[in-house]
A and B are shown apart, each in its own frame.
Chain A
Amino acid sequence: MTERLDGRLARLLAALAAFALLVAACGGSSDDTDDAAPEDETEAAEAEEEAEDDDVAEAGEEAEGDVDTEIEESTGERVVGGEIAVGLEAELPGMRPWEDTCASSCYNIFVTIYDKLMESTETGEYEPWLLESITPNEDFTEWVGTLRSGVTFHNGVDLTAQSLVDMFAIQQTGSQSQSQIAASNLATVEATGDLEVTYGLSQPNSAFPAYLSRAQLGMVFEPGAAADGDAFNAAPVGTGPFVFESRDLDNETIVTKNADYWGTDSDGTQLPYLDKISFRPIPDEGTRLDATLSGTTQVAHTLRQNTIRDSRAERDGGAEITLFEFQGNNVGGGMFNVLVPPFDDIRVRKALVQLTPQDQVIEALGGTGISLPGTQWFSPDSPWYSEAAAAAWPQFDFEAGKALLEEYVNDPERSDGKAVGEKIEYELSCPPDPTLIAAMQVGFEVATSTELVDINLTNYDQQTHINYALGADNGFVGSHGAHCWRFSDDNDPSTSLNPAFAPPTAEIAAAAGIPDVVSPLNFANYFDGDIFQAAIGAIRTDNFDERYALYESISLKIAEDVPVWWSGHTATALITDDAVMGLVSWELPSGTLGQGMPNAEGRWHQVWLAG
């Protein structure tokens, strides 16, 4: 326990030290950089040697640091009753799936109150949940779903196809659902029977079921109650396994067992097992873990690898906790604003990637032994992972990176308009997280040791950081240079990848002959016609091999043009008291094993407390 206290104090000191380094870096003159150059070059050479030892992970293999908890059927005796408290990273903004932003903490609560129409399986496919079936037409512009019968909302209203039609009317007004309606190409929702609903799409979308597995379009709420949004926010009504009891904002949200829930386990026992769950936002990572170690809560939710490291140390030191770890596609790194010199030149982008020792960056981020190195949109565990793309991704190569920079710097036509031989200048910006600052410092040291670049390191709070990249004030071009970012998720690739590489501005869209397609979510402002066509092609077929080939071609093109760079994949975990069971063994109604706890999102309806 003393180690934990020491660890937290050490982190505080580390944060101060990182801050001091940042100040030094920002305030350092070019003379300072010159003085440091020989040492840095030695470090760079050492880093290069280390990098050469790294192998490309093969698809599906367990790479070093990958400690995902295995999803498996439970053999333990399931106990009905009991209650748990879950410590979450953040409070959720609101309780309305169509209106309020919903991230990992939020999903933990929402899945107790709302059932989803579709759910993801162990293998990342989508199967019906509240729907019993869903079938597309030939060109994926129409999807006909049949609802489960006999399901009622918490207020006693029956769930029918008309409920989904009425929900759609509300979703069309909701700030969260609107964007997903547009992204999924959803145009109409019609009740074509008591329990049969037909979704009409404006464009083909073979990945449409993925949208029905997320909050904005997939979580089912009672439209009658939702007519008054504010009242609904105070007393949400779904069909889920738990009924909303109370919410004390920033303190506790309590849900209790839905005695009339439709779901049963494979033995026929009615779900959920637990009587009550209290969700508590505990923003401080250390306190959240301490709360579980002390028995204040039974589960701690985390998206931070430092907390995972501390938890592993506690577990190995004898604490009676279990770590349910999940590391999916979500990957850290950043993007170059390719509309801004010098990042409009591929040589600079590629050079800077080659000058970034990825393993050292991951170490600075605290991810060594936890976080897998990123090479593409997908992690080695993903069925979409491409070994070819991993091999194509530029590895750390100091000399090659420096040579590319020299080529650019000595190019009379260089895009930044500077004189031949003059150093390249750019801004590298990350949110003010101590580990990110330390990681920036790694890249800074190696790149500046070439004596060809001047880097302005900046840190802005999350909202400012996002806004600079979004650039709503300048036609979504943004005012960023090299910008830390996170990419990808564990949904169907199309949901995150397609908008990230669609035309970023109206001018680019018009030039590409697709004036109506503009995506503010293309933060790198990188557009390639082949990538766009491949992304569109991937939602016009449901053949996995065809889709895989298309996404692989995108990954290869990204590796070639490097509009982004990768650090490591995001490690997440639910840290539980040893008595908490069932997080990895929950099943869909078909009996298929579910996806476990992706991004530390638990499925609480099949969780129980061991006796």
Chain B
Amino acid sequence: MARVLGTRLLRLVATLFAVTFLSFLMTALLPGDPAVAVLGVEGVQNEELLLEVREELGLNDPIPVRYVNWLGRAVTGDLGESYINRGVPVAQTIQERIPVTAQLAVMAIIIALVLAIPLGVLGAYKESRWPDTASSAFAQIALSVPNFITGIFLIWLFSVTLRWLPASNWNRLGNGVVDNLKTSIMPATALAMTQMAIFSRLVRSDMIATLQENFVLAAKAKGLTDRFILLRHALRPSSLSLMTILGINFGALLGGTVVIETLFAIPGLGFRLINAISQRDIMVIQGITVFIAVVYVVINTVVDLLYAAVDPRIRRS
């Protein structure tokens, strides 16, 4: 186990190095001058001012030097300061944003699971009959409709038409759970729909396979009710694939909320990232990209390690 752990950690470090370098390179090579973004078009009245700002931002150094300087600080937790929101450390920005995005991701996963498990189980139990067809169709629609379209529809229905929920922005948890839920439920639901579709298809197919196992037949022979067999005997072994995809999708959601956060004007990581890209705020782009990549890689490594811990065959291989 120690060898597995060691190998995985080495891979993790190598991956992170590659991710940080590539993301630094890509952001540094983006066309558009951060100094112009800092000054604004009207602010570029002379070349000296532009050069001065570039010097101040360290943009006159070669890219490798900038990367090494950045990496040296990053390993100590210093991801630099925003070029645009001067004086605001990137680490602080991430620290303030991650609870928002993480909450959205967690809520989306929960909503997706709450809908997906009954749909998947129903589809498997009633395989090839109308409930299966209906749940499959629902999942197909949810998978096909982009989440921002779902978001627009939810705003139209629950904000503009029914006036039940605010159309935009974010009430932080500190302002009260109910107020927070009012601003988080629609974006989380919009994010959840695609996840729900994937999860329900996964549960359905795994459950169909499980229901053909001998232990299920034995349980039926014992006279246990279908409900008991489905929920107590078949669901757990049908959830292994779901658990894997949950981990991966949670990581993906942390970096994949950009559109929904922008649509609902939610101050999460994605919203900040998109603003930073449009403003050429390279330090923020780099910091958030690396953070998302690190979270994603770490989650995947943890899932791999858990697999190895659970399944001796993987460990031995």
Contact = CB atoms under 8 A, between A and B. Distances in A.
B36 A466 contact: yes
A251 B153 CA distance: 22
16 contacts: A179-B39, A248-B267, A280-B168, A287-B168, A287-B265, A290-B159, A291-B159, A294-B159, A294-B160, A295-B163, A296-B168, A467-B31, A470-B36, A470-B44, A518-B46, A518-B47
B40 A286 contact: no
Contacts of B152: 5, 8-9, 286
A523 B181 CA distance: 49
A361 to B, nearest CB: 23
B13 interface: no
Given A5-B156, A94-B86, A296 B170 contact: no
Contact of B168 (A12, A87, A103, A182): A87
Contacts, number: 169
B53 to A, nearest CB: 6
A252 interface: yes
B184 interface: no
Interface string A222-247: 00000001100100000000000000
Interface string A268-296: 00000000000011111011101101111
Q: Nearest 4 CB-CB pairs, A to B?
A: A463-B32, A230-B87, A101-B40, A179-B45
A250 B272 contact: yes
Contacts of B267: 248-251
Contacts of A248: 172, 267
Given A288-B168, A291-B168, A463-B32, 14 more contacts: A1-B156, A1-B160, A9-B149, A9-B152, A100-B86, A103-B40, A179-B44, A233-B87, A291-B166, A295-B163, A461-B278, A463-B36, A468-B31, A470-B41
B33 interface: yes
Contacts of B35: 472
Contact of B42 (A94, A229, A283, A521): A521
A529 B54 CA distance: 33
Contacts of B278: 461-463
A464 B32 contact: yes
A175 interface: yes
Interface in A480-539: 499, 518-521
A319 B215 CA distance: 62
A281 B39 CA distance: 21
A517 to B, nearest CB: 10
B156 A178 contact: no
Contacts of A176: 39-40, 43
Nearest to B151: A287
Interface of B: 30-33, 35-47, 49-50, 53, 84-88, 93, 96, 149, 152-153, 155-156, 159-161, 163, 166-170, 172, 262-267, 271-272, 275, 278-280
Name the prevailing secondary structure of the B interface residues: helix
Contacts of A12: 149
A142 interface: no
A467 B33 contact: yes
Interface in A422-479: 460-464, 466-468, 470, 472, 476
B265 A281 contact: yes
A93 interface: yes
B163 A294 contact: yes
Nearest to A2: B156
B265 A282 contact: yes
A170 interface: no
Contacts of A93: 84-85, 279
Interface string A77-95: 0000000000100010110
A99 interface: yes
A466 B36 CA distance: 8
B167 A463 contact: no
Contacts of B161: 1
B103 to A, nearest CB: 14
A203 to B, nearest CB: 14
A229 B87 CA distance: 8
A495 to B, nearest CB: 9
A287 B86 contact: no
Question: How many A residues touch the partner, as a band?
Answer: 35 or more
Contacts of B36: 463, 466-467, 470, 472
Contacts of B42: 101, 179, 521
Contacts of B265: 250-251, 280-284, 287
A460 to B, nearest CB: 7
A159 B20 CA distance: 50
Contact of B46 (A251, A460, A466, A520): A520
Contacts of B159: 290-291, 294, 296
Given A93-B84, A93-B279, A175 B39 contact: yes
Contacts of A467: 31-33, 36
A520 B33 contact: no
A463 B276 CA distance: 11
Given A101-B40, A176-B40, A290 B85 contact: no
A195 interface: no
Interface in A73-131: 87, 91, 93-94, 99-101, 103
B37 A463 contact: yes
B62 to A, nearest CB: 16
A299 B2 CA distance: 60
Nearest to B277: A461
A25 interface: no
Given A250-B267, A250-B271, A294-B159, A472 B39 contact: no
Contacts of A463: 31-33, 36-37, 278-280
Interface string A343-364: 0000000000000000000000
Contacts of A179: 39, 42-46, 49
Interface in A182-209: 182-183
A290 B163 CA distance: 10
A95 to B, nearest CB: 10
B283 to A, nearest CB: 14
Nearest to B40: A101
